[in-house]
Chains A and B, each alone.
Chain A
Amino acid sequence: MKRKYDAKELACVLILVLAILPPLSAVIYILAKAAAGLSWEFVSTVPTQRGLSGGILSPIVGTLWLMMGTALVVLPFGVGAGIYLAEFAPNNRLTHLLETALVNLAGVPSVIYGLFGYAVFVVMLGFGSSLISASLTLAALTLPLVVAATRQALTDVPRSFREAALALGATPWQGVSTVILPSAKSGIITGTLLGMARAAGETAPILITGVAFFLPSLPSSFTSRFMALPYHLYIIATQVPGMPVERMWATAGTLLLMVMTMQVGATVWREAERRKKRW
């Protein structure tokens, strides 16, 4: 039997297509442009002559370090806060205040995080311009995302799970750690990965907390300064006269591929996990 769509449904489908078209064509356009300049050599050699020759290994490695550092910091804080808000927070004004603050934090422009990171991590705590400072800054930026994802994942676990755990004599924490958290694992990890992807694409927060345009060596520890793809792209596109456009496209394409791989990977994995669930 053929299903009939009415006018309102068709309108919704049309709007959906119109909404998806611009970002999708932008992605395809960038990747198509990038294909010409992308090669194994380009992603596996360090830049020389300010990016006019060589590749983009140093910015790639820097961005990977940055994502790792951000994850290491944001996971304990973000997941901890998410668990507290979803499972233990009393329903009072302080909790509401915390929730409002978190929602607002998510809307703060990223350059403000950059200034915050510079004032607190670089200067006040004396970490200097380094991977630590930049990772902590990006962790602050992605914290609301991870908290919200954790909270949502925990809230999605049916109430009956908690009741069953309590009925079997488990303490609330035992219930959370052995039943609820494992059930919510995929949602939490997906949220964190999306946070990492966001962090990888940011320029403003790292600009004054540790990124460098030119570094003679790859970062060796979290105290090192680092190069990063978004900043590298910004400088080669605006400040290096005579930069071939293929190199800019290829750099943009690499950044896009890295971020998209994480996002698509996170989504596919979450769907796979979700299908295993029987609720």
Chain B
Amino acid sequence: MKKFFSIAALALVASLALTGCQPKTPADNGGTTPPPPQKATIIVNGSDTMVNMGAALAEEFMKTKENIEVVVSGGGSGTGIASLINGSCDIAQSSRAMKQEEKDNAGKQGTLHEVIVAFDGLAAVVHPSNPVKEMTLQDLAKIYRGEITNWKDVGGNDANIVLLSRDTTSGTHVFFKEFVVQEDGKAKGAEFADQTMMMPSTQAIVDELTNNVNAIGYVGLGYLKPSITALGMKANADAPAVLPSVAAVQDNTYGLARPLFFYIVGNLEGAMQTYIDYVLSPAGQKVVADLSFVPISK
């Protein structure tokens, strides 16, 4: 019996030793051997919308900088921001701006930097045969809140509007809800109409739209294709309609667009500075544009 417990204790110690005593960095090895030339590692975490872009930027960047490693993972904007605050990543990719509380928490760890690296433009889309070609952001909001339920109220056919949305796991859903449904704070607490169909992917929205003449949905600019029609957005009833396009997002005339952020805590120096400089450079912004995001204007 005694032996059993000593063996169990041994196993416990062994597994703790295995897991707990790994040197955190090569510099921890007590100084007996000089550490090998250090590779700087930048850990990027956050938005699922941005994980593909982040990985593409990292891969292109490392083709030229062999002594810097950039590691990219997703999980969501909130995950990235939480990781940044408790120090388990170096850059939080976020498709929304940090909340004040998050900024305060991050600020306790060091200077917080907010860098806009690209834009995500959303397009409100309908079936090509729908006579409605433009509307105001307010009408779009009313439609998605269920206050307007018939196309004839916005100049279309006498038919019920079928609402399509991304599901709640999507950053696009959050942006659309806060920015359109809740009118960027003016209709606080407003929700999607009960009859909204929550789709698991943007592709599912596109598929449904091509088959349903009375449906309306929203997709990223990269998903626009001839089988669906993007609505022009008007700032108010009298303003001209602006069709979604890269130029219109960059010069801020198109209303339904959002910035995409890198958040960094601490001083921008060394490897981090080199990486941020690359992301904002023409080469980095070409990667952004190639992936159908809207590059920042220069």
| Residues of A near any B CB (own CB < 8 A) | 48-50, 72-73, 76-77, 80, 83-84, 88, 122-123, 125, 127-129, 132, 135-136, 171-173, 176-177, 207-208, 211-217, 221-223, 225, 235, 238-241
Q: Which of B18, B45, B54 has the most CB of A within 10 A?
A: B18
Question: Is B62's beta carbon under 8 Å from chain A?
Answer: yes
Assembly CA distance A214 to B74 (angstroms): 10
Q: How large is the interface on B (under 10, 10 to 19, 20 to 34, 35 or more residues)?
A: 35 or more
CB proximity of A126 to chain B, nearest CB, Å: 8
B43 touching A225, Cβ below 8 Å: yes
B73 touching A211, Cβ below 8 Å: yes
Contacts of A213 in B (CB 8 A): 51, 55, 72-74
Q: Assuming the A-B contacts A173-B1, A240-B52, A241-B222, are A77 and B70 also in contact, with contact meaning beta carbons closer than 8 angstroms in the complex? A: no
Question: Is B156's beta carbon under 8 Å from chain A?
Answer: no
A128 touching B52, Cβ below 8 Å: no
Contacts of A222 in B (CB 8 A): 18-19, 22
Assembly CA distance A235 to B83 (angstroms): 20
Question: Is B48's beta carbon under 8 Å from chain A?
Answer: yes
Contacts of A239 in B (CB 8 A): 48-49, 51-52, 74
Contacts of B86 in A (CB 8 A): 123
A48 touching B75, Cβ below 8 Å: no
Question: Is B187's beta carbon under 8 Å from chain A?
Answer: no
B43 touching A123, Cβ below 8 Å: no
Q: Assuming the A-B contacts A72-B18, A80-B8, are A216 and B73 also in contact, with contact meaning beta carbons closer than 8 angstroms in the complex? A: no
Contacts of B89 in A (CB 8 A): 129
Report the nearest B residue to A237, measured CB to CB: B201
Question: Is B79's beta carbon under 8 Å from chain A?
Answer: yes
Contacts of B2 in A (CB 8 A): 173
A50 touching B19, Cβ below 8 Å: no
Report the nearest B residue to A123, measured CB to CB: B86
B1 touching A214, Cβ below 8 Å: no
Contacts of B52 in A (CB 8 A): 50, 235, 239-241
Q: Which of B22, B71, B75 has the most CB of A within 10 A?
A: B71
Contacts of B71 in A (CB 8 A): 212, 214-216, 225
Binary A-proximity of B52-77 (CB < 8 A = 1, otherwise 0): 10111011001000000111111100
Assembly CA distance A50 to B74 (angstroms): 13
Q: Contacting chain A: which of B9-17, B96-104, B115-123, B137-145?
A: B9-17
CB proximity of B48 to chain A, nearest CB, Å: 6
Question: Is B292's beta carbon under 8 Å from chain A?
Answer: yes
Contacts of B188 in A (CB 8 A): none
Contacts of A211 in B (CB 8 A): 73
A132 touching B73, Cβ below 8 Å: no
B1 touching A216, Cβ below 8 Å: no
B55 touching A214, Cβ below 8 Å: yes
Q: Assuming the A-B contacts A76-B12, A123-B88, A213-B73, are A221 and B22 also in contact, with contact meaning beta carbons closer than 8 angstroms in the complex? A: yes
CB proximity of A109 to chain B, nearest CB, Å: 15
B11 touching A132, Cβ below 8 Å: no
Question: Is B298's beta carbon under 8 Å from chain A?
Answer: no
Question: Is B3's beta carbon under 8 Å from chain A?
Answer: yes
CB proximity of A216 to chain B, nearest CB, Å: 5
Binary A-proximity of B20-57 (CB < 8 A = 1, otherwise 0): 10111000000000000000000101001101101110
3 closest pairs, A vs B, by CB? A76-B11, A214-B55, A214-B72
21 A-B pairs in the complex with CB atoms less than 8 angstroms apart: A72-B15, A73-B15, A73-B19, A76-B14, A76-B15, A125-B20, A127-B20, A129-B89, A136-B19, A177-B4, A213-B51, A213-B72, A214-B59, A214-B70, A214-B73, A216-B70, A216-B71, A225-B71, A235-B52, A239-B52, A241-B291
Contacts of A235 in B (CB 8 A): 48, 51-52, 74
CB proximity of A102 to chain B, nearest CB, Å: 17
Contacts of B8 in A (CB 8 A): 76, 80, 84
Assembly CA distance A176 to B62 (angstroms): 56
B73 touching A173, Cβ below 8 Å: no
Contacts of A48 in B (CB 8 A): 59
